[in-house]
Amino acid sequence: MNPVPYLWRVLSRALVKKSHVWQQASSLRDPDLWDCTVSTAGHLCVADFDCVELANNYGSPLLVVNYQRLLKDIGQMMGAMRQAPEGSKVLYSYKTNCIPALLQVLHENGLGAEVISPYELWVAHKLNVPGDKLVYNGVDKSDESLRLAVTMDVLAVNVDHREEVQRIVQAAKDVGRRARVGVRLGLSNSSQFGLSVDSGEAMEVCREIIAHEKWLDLCCVHFSVTSNAKDSWIHRINAEKALAFISCLQQELDIQIEYLDIGGGYGVPTTKNMSGVEYGLYRTFGCLPKPADPLMFQAIDLFIGEIVAAVQVSCMELGLKIPKLLIEPGRFITSRSEILLAKVLSVKTKPNGTRFLITDAGRLSMTFPAEFEYHELFVANRMQATMNTNYQVMGRICTSADWLAKNRLLPEAQPGDIIAVMDAGAYFSSYSSTFAFPRPAIVGVDNGKISVLRSPESFEYLTELDHF
Ligand SMILES: *Cc1c(COP(=O)(O)O)cnc(C)c1O
């Protein structure tokens, strides 16, 4: 007998067993965390709508937006930002979940927009987002989109690389209006994004911007550092670095910066990003990591409060006027309020005991983030049943790469059951694809009301642009 595969199996089994213990002890088994309830029939409900009926009536898979949860999360963030200096703004990161009907709700509730592509800028324009609540980031800004941004007088076009400066100058000349610009700082030396501070590149680009003062108004310094942070420390450390840079700008170029834009990354207590080791163990041994623990996440009030305090202290030390803050949360605003419902198509038990749960949603079409984030799963029509069965939860694309969750402990399931994937409101629809199947509908549920935010794609829609 070859000892290597044997040891591998033993190790794998031990790790999966450990994972099952974690899954069973998970504090995420409470649907109330997502403002969901359980009916007397044991079904998961959102705003009094039975998820099983929703999937039956609107088709599966189905994305369901829970407005009650959404408004709560918006309210928490807006409340937290009351600690920030007057004139500070919350701009939703469009790439997190670019569904126009959803964005409309966010704008109605006071959020602005942070866009990273000509398409997203166009959507913001369509939705009548005022320039004063709009920041244009990203690495590929077309000339046409730059002209639109200048015309809309966006709060800042943030320069990612130096080649953009001349192009923004040209757009401003073409439109005949001064452009408000910012610089994106790459605060770590290996950063792919932004301008390096340590090498002097960021300062040189600022000099170039000032040299074009007639057309460019340097008003913003931006950085974005992480995603799903549990607490404020990465944001604080980087805000301090950015303020030190602003202080240099003031001393060397005699300019004051109106906005400090600290990007996204505010964590959601009901998901977590896998660490490098967790990801490795998951991919190698199928050991699903420990679930997120909501108690480990700093409340957003405290998170923002600590950043604001750190900014005040730094400004005092550096002798700077306190800038207004821009924040660009994506995940925090929409993650928790959206649920993906998927149907169980088949349960296959293999001779070696492996159980495959074949569903109509996997990572290649719908659930890409679940590959590197922990997401809670429920069997929506069996909420009270004990979790006693180990499943390889798979999608419907014909490749073993289309999984949803490996070694997931769930109540025993049958064809027709509905699986609820929680926290589907961040980067699910953005990453969704038309791999062999059209993309599903998105509906919104409110107290007693249901609305369609996006119709399901049809076969005709998928071939509309083909020439044949
Ligand atoms: C993606 C992104 C965000 C949003 O990040 P979250 O982690 O979802 O909050 C904000 N700003 C920029 C520049 C981004 O690229």
Identity (one letter) of the amino acid at 2?
N
Q: Which among 135, 118, 156 is positioned nearest to 328, based on CA atoms?
A: 135
| Residue 450 CA from chain centroid, whole number | 24
Tell the residue nearest (CA) to atom 3 of ligand 1.
264
Tokens representing 204 are: 């040189």
**CA–centroid distance, residue 440 to ligand 1 (Å):** 25
List, in order, residues 6 or more apart from 55 with CB less than 8 Å away. Answer: 62, 341, 343, 380, 418
Tell the residue nearest (CA) to atom 5 of ligand 1.
264
Q: Which among 431, 432, 433, 455 is positioned nearest to 443, based on CA atoms?
A: 455
List, in order, residues 6 or more apart from 449 with CB less than 8 Å away. Answer: none
Q: Would you state the pLDDT for residue 227?
A: 86
State the distance between the two ends of the chain, measured CA to CA, in whole angstroms: 57
Question: Counting atoms of ligand 1 from 1, which one is nearest the CA of 137?
Answer: 13
Q: Which among 186, 188, 168, 190 is positioned nearest to 177, based on CA atoms?
A: 168
CA distance 454 to 66: 15
Q: Which residues line ligand 1 (CB under 6 A)?
A: 93, 95-96, 114, 116, 137, 224, 227, 263-266, 328-332, 426
Question: Counting atoms of ligand 1 from 1, which one is nearest the CA of 266?
Answer: 9
Secondary structure of residue 54 in the 3-state scheme: helix
Question: Counting atoms of ligand 1 from 1, which one is nearest the CA of 331?
Answer: 8
Q: Which among 63, 59, 3 is positioned nearest to 445, based on CA atoms?
A: 63
**CA–centroid distance, residue 408 to ligand 1 (Å):** 29
> Helices 100-108 and 67-80: crossing angle, nearest 10°?
50
CA distance 170 to 142: 12
Token pair 């939703």 is at which residue?
Answer: 92
Domains of the chain: 11-65+335-462 (2.40.37.10), 68-334 (3.20.20.10)
> DSSP secondary structure string, 117-163?
SHHHHHHHHHTT--GGGEEE--S---HHHHHHHHHTT-SEEEESSTH
DSSP 292: P
Q: How many residues does the chain have?
A: 468
> Looking at the DSSP assignment, which residues form a beta bridge with residue 259?
220, 324
Element (H, E) at 386: none
Per-residue tens of pLDDT for the chain, all 468 residues = 677 789 989 999 999 999 999 999 999 999 999 999 999 999 999 998 999 999 999 999 999 999 999 999 999 999 999 999 999 999 999 999 999 999 999 999 999 999 999 999 999 999 999 999 999 999 999 999 999 999 999 999 999 999 999 999 999 999 999 999 999 999 988 889 999 999 999 999 999 999 999 999 999 999 998 889 999 999 999 999 999 999 999 999 999 999 999 999 999 999 999 999 999 999 999 999 999 999 999 999 999 999 999 999 999 999 999 999 999 999 999 999 999 999 999 999 999 999 999 999 999 999 999 999 999 999 999 999 999 999 999 999 999 999 999 999 999 999 999 999 999 999 999 999 999 999 999 999 998 899 999 999 999 999 999 999
Q: Would you state the pLDDT for residue 1?
A: 64
**CA–centroid distance, residue 443 to ligand 1 (Å):** 24
Tokens representing 12 are: 């794998």
**CA–centroid distance, residue 229 to ligand 1 (Å):** 12
Q: Please answer whether residues 135 and 93 qualify as being in contact, where contact means their C-beta atoms are separated by less than 8 angstroms.
A: no
Q: Would you state the pLDDT for residue 447?
A: 85
Q: Would you state the pLDDT for residue 202?
A: 97
Question: Counting atoms of ligand 1 from 1, which one is nearest the CA of 427?
Answer: 8
Cis peptide before 323 (omega within 30 of 0): no
Q: Please answer whether residues 215 and 191 qualify as being in contact, where contact means their C-beta atoms are separated by less than 8 angstroms.
A: no
Token pair 């996204």 is at which residue?
Answer: 264
CB atoms within 10 A of CB 212: 19
Secondary structure of residue 443 in the 3-state scheme: strand
